[in-house]
């Protein structure tokens, strides 16, 4: 049986984000939703004016390991 880790916090978009860039990020955030026990839930999509994203998530062994898999989840 694997250990399940959990995390919660905020992600902050840095730089000069345009409306188009923020819209393009939404499907990426959706790709990170839960698959069984692992994934990340975003409470509210970011906007150009509100660039802080609150989240919670869980992962196998360490949440950082789950974060490492998000890139391949996004591309599939």
Specify the pLDDT at position 33: 81
Per-residue pLDDT reduced to its tens digit, 63-72 = 667 677 666 7
Domain boundaries, the chain: 4-75
Distance, CA of 72 to CA of 1 (rounded, Å): 24
Q: Which residues of the chain have pLDDT under 50?
A: 1
Beta bridge partners of 44: none
Specify the pLDDT at position 1: 47
Distance, CA of 31 to CA of 6 (rounded, Å): 18
User: Which of 12, 21, 14 lies closest to 42 in space, CA to CA?
Assistant: 12
Specify the pLDDT at position 54: 92
Specify the pLDDT at position 31: 80
Distance, CA of 34 to CA of 20 (rounded, Å): 25
Specify the pLDDT at position 52: 93
């Amino acid at each position: 049986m694997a250990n399940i880790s959990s995390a919660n916090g905020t992600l902050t978009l840095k730089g000069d984000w345009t409306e188009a860039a923020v819209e393009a990020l939404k499907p990426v955030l959706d790709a990170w939703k839960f698959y069984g026990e692992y994934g990340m839930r975003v409470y509210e999509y970011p906007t150009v004016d509100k660039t802080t994203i609150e989240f919670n998530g869980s992962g196998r062994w360490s949440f950082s390991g789950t974060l490492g898999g998000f890139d391949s989840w996004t591309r599939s």
